[in-house]
Structure 1
């Protein structure tokens, strides 16, 4: 992590004069924190030895890092999904969160070993992208305060995330999916790879007011097929607007999205299609034919590739954990306590 003073840049002296430096991200963060009432404490004024929850190959993990992970709602949801329990206990979440923190440190140690780095410009851009998620500097500062970030820890966290992404990308760069693996997935999940078919009734009208009148009539109890024969200008008017069974995937995209939100037997609209307005009723929905391997391959291939990449990273992490010296220092008072073949608990 860059020292605070290194985040404030100056342009070279030209013609004996120093040009004004562009606003550094330290200055932006300082303003954000000031707006939220958060004071940035210089690094040398902070506690020299923060509470340590674990050591990974001799490197400390702090209570602040652990609490930040546990306080992040997105991380908590991911932990819950990984545990596969709808409402896991706090101790289970703590244990898994600590393991994730340890694994993250192993990844960062690998980045150093492989000499993977993040340039200062790239770090600034990553922080800028994070900042753009918030409406203003005050909101950004409040989020920093909630997460327990100061200027230095924020940059360290962002740098760590970028490094971790690059290590994982390097681990999986040669992973490929073969045609045999795609076929195997297809054969195993063939019963789930079916098209959806829908049966619709559609009234086509020339203006929005007429469509609104048709909807009012339907709400009043008017039969849809009768109304379609009386008012629709579409080619299926004589059939009560009935489309017959059609593949859901082949529908006009706005109509497909509209129908996806409908319940069987319900009508809605108006949906504009050029100069026409549609009133649509979903008559029924059913599973259709099984899609062919050629049709399914564009969806199967990236999914299987993602699974293989996850497996490569998971196996790599498991191997690193076995070989690492991991000391878990969180006692019963701090809740989590994690066992490991090479761990030493205090």
Structure 2
């Protein structure tokens, strides 16, 4: 049984029971398997029930939270604003990954299929999951390797290393002029030769990394969250053409997390030869040093910054002094972990 800690706005009273609307300190709660009370023969079903409760992944947005279990099944909690009902089982088997945006959800199966729902995905029935991977025109590109949700769009990385986008394009986050294409219910090819996709559940921008550690972007740059200095200074607030970021800090990009108006980047410091040497000698406690960089609205990604930054700038804070072993990063609409 996994232990879960929760704090923040309690929009899911069916999940976080007997607690106030705003939880200011982390609390521990147990995930209650809905079949737990129905099992009269505990010995016979003990192993099966335990597998049901082993959580592999949690993905949460403003209106829903999905729990994915080790056995490939998932359940969904909806915000009380949307539903008063108890959590429901998602009727999809062999789930590999789940991702939740502001107004969408997507599920990747072990077979490489993607099912999604949302107002911008399936306007006629936004509460119904549909197979969006089968809508890709190139039939050779329908096996999906990874999925990422942004606020109103979903990105698919195929086994051929191509990226497709589907959903809203109001901030050009699908790579088109929003005046001609506001949204699409079919996946649109955005870029080829991609190794990783980076976006966020509250963001309207996306980063695409290729195998050569070159970084490309689409979407909203109103606050400089894309790290494009000249674009922001020239008041080009929406990027609808594949644009390469030229001023990436030296080192290997480990992760990028996107909030509504900012982005943070985790980089292993040094040149590629140094990084490779360090990786080969990790058993000798010579781990690569990692640094944090950020760009965008200072009110959200402050950490000592007093003004907005239009290029990725190192986050310098007493919190990180003498600590170069940052393992993971995460951010929401307006906070960083």
Structure in which a larger fraction of residues adopt strand: 2
TM-score (norm 2): 0.20
* Larger-gyration structure (1/2): 1
Structure in which a larger fraction of residues adopt helix: 1
Greater relative CO, 1 or 2 (CA 8 Å, sep 6+)? 1
TM-score (norm 1): 0.19
